[in-house]
Structure 1
Amino acid sequence: MSSPIINDDQWLQLLEYVAETYSDVTLSRGFTYFKQQRVASLIISDTRVVQAKVEEGESGNYRVTLNLDKPRSSQCSCPVPASCKHMAAVWMELGDRLGYPASQIMNAKMHLKRITSTTSLESTLLQLPKMDVSGWQKFLNHYTSLIKSTYDLGNYVDMLRKQLQNITKITIPFSDKDQIFFDMHQELFILRKLKEQNVQGGVSSYTSFTLYRVYDEIHTWLKQKSPLLNFSVAGVRLEQTLSYIRQQMAEESGHYYQDYGVYTALWKHWVAPDPEASHYVTKEIEALETMTVDSPSPSLSAVKAFLYLQQSRSKDAWEALEENGIFKEAPAKLFIPFFDYLYDTQNWEELVNWLRRSASFFNRKRTKELDVYADLWTKAIVQLPQAEEHMWTVLEELLPYSFRIIEEMLYEQRKWKPWLEMQIIQGHDPLYHRVNVLQPIEKETPKLLLPYYHQAIDHYVSLKNRHDYKLAVRLLKRLDKVYKKMKQTERWEHFFSGFVERHSRLRALQEELRKGKLLG
């Protein structure tokens, strides 16, 4: 035949007929007959009428007549007046022979619902470019509504991402600009869903890890995509996005500051490069000043302060931070965007001012924020050497958390004397370090190493066991090199002869000295 007996549209019409007239029980029984191959014969006439025979075992056979053009006029010779299991089995056999899955007949209602859902989804997806970003967020919420949170929030994020990846299977007529913004709002959506889980289930360390991982991924993404964005055509979407994040911050309580961090990162990578950045500053401050009256959120206050700083209103910025009653409990990470902005604009005096004023917020267990804080101090004093005294004062105030930082700074700045004093305070000795650590000191001021070596040697000898004697000998051999660096061989010989005489009764030590070729 030149044309198919049933085309796709006719098949869908048949499914609609079956869904309306056959019960689920009848279809299930018909499917059983189909699987048992009880449809013994099936003939299709030129008039599109199907004649079939269905075997019923001891009850004999039943004859089924199906009319493809008028399915409601179809008949069966069994006692059931219409829509029986025998007719259902023949419909399935017919579909199978014509290349359509029999399971679609058995699950006609579900299959039609799925088709309708897919069609509706495609229609909605095609409307996305016309929606604003709040419409995108509503769509994403509906699209992932069947994804339920689990205790493993990392797995929950993976399931959300997998569901969202299905969107890419349909071509959406996004412009390049809108595609970037839509992709970003998918990331913001995932962050929002995680925050919702925090509110519902409480925050655990595991939850926080997932939350901060997603937060860091957004930061990285914003930085990577920035060069691809044409700011001259991004205005409306950018304003919508800033408004969306502001609303998220207004709903945020406590000191999480995830949305604040996203906002400041968005500003740094997407807004600041825009020639019209000052225009956005003014508009955003106006919006924030209105919002903070109605929603005194810590995040909103922090963002307002951050934008005041863009206008060189440092005093107003600090006051904006303090206007929130729980400012003193704010985490150190709150200040990093302020520091970054002042560093990027090379406003060194103001950077030092903010580093000094915020010092108490970093007086906590060493974190990456404290490392960033200390690094900014070192960069600032390169430009403002007169601020170095303030830096050391602040770092001393942050002890004990700043201990390692001070130690590293002293070494980097080749301040060997205080660095060695810190080693002695910690109970370290020259063997604690790799040889190359002490090499710069041996080269520049070897004299400073003498107390460090002598104290360690006396300590190991006082322990009076062979293992520590061996360590003492190792140190003596290195001390010999130090004296040679100082060109004071006679002083070494005088010390060493006195050392040997003092410990002449320690036979094990004398043996180790000989093994080390320090004694003949």
Structure 2
Amino acid sequence: MRSSTINDELWHKMLEQVAKTFTEVTLSRGFTYFKQQRVEDLRLTENHMIHARVTGSEDYAVTLNLDNLSSYSCTCPAPPPCKHLAAVMMELADRYGYPSSHIMNAKHHLERAEVRSSSLVWLEQLPDVDVSEWHTFLNQYTAHIKQSYDPGIYLNLLRDQLQAMRKASNPLSDIDQKFFELHQELFMVRKLKDLSAQSSVAYFTSHVLTRAYDNIHAWLSQASEHFNFTLSPERLKQTLAYLRVQMAEEKDKDYLHFRIYAALWQQEIAPQPDAGQWVTHELSDINSQSTGDAKSIGCSMVKAYLLISQSRNEEAWTALETGGALKDAPTSLLIVFLQQLAKAGNWRDLLGWLIKSAPTFNSRLNNDMNSYMNYWKMTAAHLPEAEEHWWKVLKDMLPLSSHLIEEALYEQRKWKAWIEMQIHQGHGPFYHRVSVLQPIEKEAPELLLPYYHQAIAHHVSLKNRQDYKLTVKLLKRLQKVYKKMKAVERWDLFFHDFVERHSRLRALQEEIKKGKLME
């Protein structure tokens, strides 16, 4: 039970005195003495004086004036304040129900207390300030969290701290509370980007940033089911403006804030009936920005994104081109615009974008290239004339596009060209599963003749038992093809000649007999 003598006010003053006058080493040594119970005969006199004896190799007398905490003494030879005084203050705290560990960590405890105190004041002000002030508050609220070499740990520490605040009551309206939660997510992205700017941890931060973006995307999807963010137009304008500022300042090339901007627009604004008014307002704001910000790659991408929503697709391309996005932005961002055009059904404009963006995708074999090709397929399905352009683009991308050409030929059932490509690349029949060749065998079996004949000649020329076995498998397939073509006589003539020609290859003859191709 706390004494009327040692109260909260005096306790706070004691912590301030300790933080101001003691070194960490002295406090650590004092804490050791306290834990070893070296403080004896501690007495509180009527005039608020503390008297105690601290034992050790020698005993020392300590006095402390509670009415004037800067007035103290110890009979040890060390300069004040000493470890004996620290041990006495910890013992005093413990006896009157206060955590002795707070004496040990006085500076840290006071900092935390100050943050909690100022946070309460800030929380009351949140409804009356814009989102930039929210970020100032969040920065102050998490100031005690030190950057970690491990960005995953750092993100978790930030999230734990912010989640603790979410549990506290605040005067925000329901929709403001949702915006505030969104800006907490955005705040964590910015802190991670600050950490990523340090070259020593940049590599490790990229996947954590991706995880943070995924969290925001999931949060937006869930929030949009319950809230219409356009019902708070001022907060939404502030949020969009915040993202534009972050884009203008972005130094790396992941353009994460543009991705967030696009996700916010797609989830929260585009489905609304007044989306067109928002587009007009945003374009006006971008055009009124300072020259440097308005010409940043991120802002040029935003401008292009908005122009496409108004079907001003040529202007959108120009915005990307003049803003430098086509030169420096990753291909995954171009996919965002192709997706917009496809979703709107602007196939002719999409065809133009696919043709013009081809050089950007060339030499980059990744998932973005696969997405790019899928948009070609979609366009060709709606515009037959697109196919000719598509094949030209594929040829211009050789040799990078060889597997894409192969896939396209197969999907379009251009069997002759596909088989010629297999032969040219040295891919024999065993390179593919049997099921891959079955459609050709069914629809155009005659095209398989040169493919199988060449493969048979190749395996026989290797002159080993394993290749002879493979030769027999191919002969069986070839026999099946001739039967499919109703050309059994041609098969008989070929097979008779084949056996005669290789009659000296005893192992091959044995495998042919084992395969029951002849008696």
Alpha-carbon offset, residue 497 of structure 1: 1.5
- What secondary structure is seen at the aligned counterpart in 1 of 2:225? helix
The CA distance in 2 between the partners of 1:8 and 1:498, in whole Å, is 116
Q: After superposition, where does 1:30-429 map in structure 2 within 5 Å?
A: 34-41=34-41, 54=53, 92-105=90-103, 107-108=105-106, 110-125=108-123, 127-145=125-143, 155-170=150-165, 171-173=168-170, 174-197=172-195, 199=197, 201=199, 211=209, 214-215=212-213, 218-252=216-250, 256-291=254-289, 293-295=291-293, 296-324=295-323, 327-328=326-327, 330-429=329-428
Q: How many residues align?
A: 510
**For residues 30-81 of structure 1, what are the alpha-carbon distances to aligned partners after superposition, in whole Å with 9 as ceiling and x for unaligned?**
6565444345556889x898997637589889698998xx68799999799x
Residue matched to 1:490:
489
Q: Is the 8 A contact 2:300 2:325 kept in 1?
A: no
- What secondary structure is seen at the aligned counterpart in 2 of 1:273? coil
Alpha-carbon offset, residue 254 of structure 1: 7.6
Alpha-carbon offset, residue 280 of structure 1: 0.8
The CA distance in 2 between the partners of 1:430 and 1:63, in whole Å, is 94
Structure 1 pair 326–348 and aligned structure 2 pair: CA distance change class (3 A):
closer
List alignment gaps of at least 5 residues for structure 2. Answer: none
Residue matched to 1:473:
472
The CA distance in 1 between the partners of 2:70 and 2:328, in whole Å, is 78
Aligned partner letter, 2:470:
L
Alpha-carbon offset, residue 404 of structure 1: 1.6
The CA distance in 2 between the partners of 1:164 and 1:492, in whole Å, is 73
Structure 1 pair 83–229 and aligned structure 2 pair: CA distance change class (3 A):
same
Q: Is the 8 A contact 1:359 1:394 kept in 2?
A: yes
- What secondary structure is seen at the aligned counterpart in 2 of 1:481? helix
The CA distance in 2 between the partners of 1:514 and 1:146, in whole Å, is 82
Structure 1 pair 16–407 and aligned structure 2 pair: CA distance change class (3 A):
same
Alpha-carbon offset, residue 477 of structure 1: 1.7
- What secondary structure is seen at the aligned counterpart in 1 of 2:271? coil
Structure 1 pair 286–420 and aligned structure 2 pair: CA distance change class (3 A):
same
- What secondary structure is seen at the aligned counterpart in 2 of 1:400? coil
Aligned partner letter, 1:169:
A
The CA distance in 2 between the partners of 1:166 and 1:323, in whole Å, is 42
- What TM-score results when the alignment is normalised by the length of structure 1? 0.83
Alpha-carbon offset, residue 481 of structure 1: 2.4
The CA distance in 1 between the partners of 2:457 and 2:356, in whole Å, is 46
The CA distance in 2 between the partners of 1:63 and 1:267, in whole Å, is 68
Structure 1 pair 116–251 and aligned structure 2 pair: CA distance change class (3 A):
closer
The CA distance in 1 between the partners of 2:58 and 2:144, in whole Å, is 47
Q: Is the 8 A contact 1:92 1:105 kept in 2?
A: yes
The CA distance in 1 between the partners of 2:279 and 2:363, in whole Å, is 33
Aligned partner letter, 1:280:
W
Q: Is the 8 A contact 1:396 1:402 kept in 2?
A: yes
Q: Does 1:439 align with 2:438?
A: yes
The CA distance in 2 between the partners of 1:432 and 1:489, in whole Å, is 27
Alpha-carbon offset, residue 319 of structure 1: 2.5
Structure 1 pair 64–378 and aligned structure 2 pair: CA distance change class (3 A):
closer
Q: Is the 8 A contact 2:115 2:140 kept in 1?
A: no
- What secondary structure is seen at the aligned counterpart in 2 of 1:358? helix
Alpha-carbon offset, residue 260 of structure 1: 2.7
The CA distance in 1 between the partners of 2:301 and 2:57, in whole Å, is 84
Alpha-carbon offset, residue 326 of structure 1: 7.3
Structure 1 pair 103–434 and aligned structure 2 pair: CA distance change class (3 A):
same
**For residues 396-427 of structure 1, what are the alpha-carbon distances to aligned partners after superposition, in whole Å with 9 as ceiling and x for unaligned?**
22222222222222222322222222211211
The CA distance in 2 between the partners of 1:93 and 1:329, in whole Å, is 64
Q: Is the 8 A contact 1:253 1:297 kept in 2?
A: no
The CA distance in 1 between the partners of 2:200 and 2:447, in whole Å, is 55
- What secondary structure is seen at the aligned counterpart in 2 of 1:54? strand
Structure 1 pair 10–500 and aligned structure 2 pair: CA distance change class (3 A):
same
Moved more, 469-478 or 120-129: 120-129
List alignment gaps of at least 5 residues for structure 1. Answer: none
